């Protein structure tokens, strides 16, 4: 009969090996860790969506409106060209992102506007006066 010696630390060794062999952030960006912070506010005439997108060019941001949903998406890329610096810790998140917002019926989707300054995207969603959005139907 073959006896195997019990090693309680063997699993720790396997776990350590698994962590060492994890793909580096620069090698595999298929899972996004970047979720931009969003602030929403309402004024009398409009809703405002402020999205923190530091390090992203405005050309890399896409805003789409479909079926009552406003979607903001883009990607923050990892700096591949850094050769002279050795990072000790990277806390910046990278990857593709997408944030969606359900729009109420009382908004003017034709006049939604956006501006981008100092890494902050501001989307302005104008409200429609409920009385203006009303129509009387004539019976024939």
Residue 18 lies in a domain: no
Structure-token pair, residue 14: 């396997």
CATH of the domain at 56: 2.60.40.790
Q: How do beta strands 95-102 and 69-76 pair?
A: antiparallel
| 13 inside domain | no
Nearest to 61 by CA among 116, 13, 20: 116
- pLDDT tens, 82-125? 556 676 666 667 778 899 999 988 899 999 999 999 999 999 99
Please give the tally of structural domains in the chain: 1
Using the Cα atoms of residue 66, residue 69, residue 72 and residue 75 in order, give the sign of their dihedral.
negative
Q: Higher pLDDT residue, 72 or 33? A: 72
What's the mean pLDDT in 68-73? 94
The reply to whether 35 falls in a domain is yes
Nearest to 126 by CA among 35, 42, 71, 46: 46
For 4-59, how does the pLDDT look when each residue is reduced to its tens digit (9 = 90+)?
Answer: 666 666 666 656 666 555 544 444 444 556 789 999 999 999 999 999 998 889 99
In a domain, 98, yes or no: yes
Residue 66: phi and psi, rounded to 5, are -150, 130
Q: Which residues pair with 87 in a beta bridge?
A: none
Within a domain: 59: yes
Domain extent, residue 108, equals 30-78+93-131
Contacts of 15 (CB under 8 A, 6+ apart): none
Give the per-residue pLDDT at 115: 96
Does the residue 114 lie in any domain? yes
* H-run or E-run covering 48: strand 46-52
Q: Is 68 domain-assigned? A: yes
Per the domain annotation, does 7 fall within a domain? no
């Amino acid at each position: 009969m073959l006896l195997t010696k019990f090693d309680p630390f063997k699993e720790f060794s396997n776990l350590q090996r698994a962590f060492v062999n994890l793909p580096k952030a620069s090698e595999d960006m298929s899972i996004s860790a970047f979720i931009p912070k969003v602030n929403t506010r309402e004024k009398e005439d409009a809703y405002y969506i402020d999205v923190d997108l530091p390090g992203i060019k405005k050309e890399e941001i896409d805003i789409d409106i479909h079926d009552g949903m406003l979607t903001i998406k883009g990607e923050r890329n990892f700096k591949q060209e850094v050769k002279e610096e050795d990072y000790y810790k990277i806390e910046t998140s990278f990857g593709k992102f997408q944030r969606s917002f359900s729009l109420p019926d009382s908004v003017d989707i034709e006049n939604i506007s956006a501006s981008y300054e100092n890494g902050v995207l501001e989307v302005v969603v104008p409200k429609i006066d409920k009385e203006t959005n009303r129509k009387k139907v004539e019976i024939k």
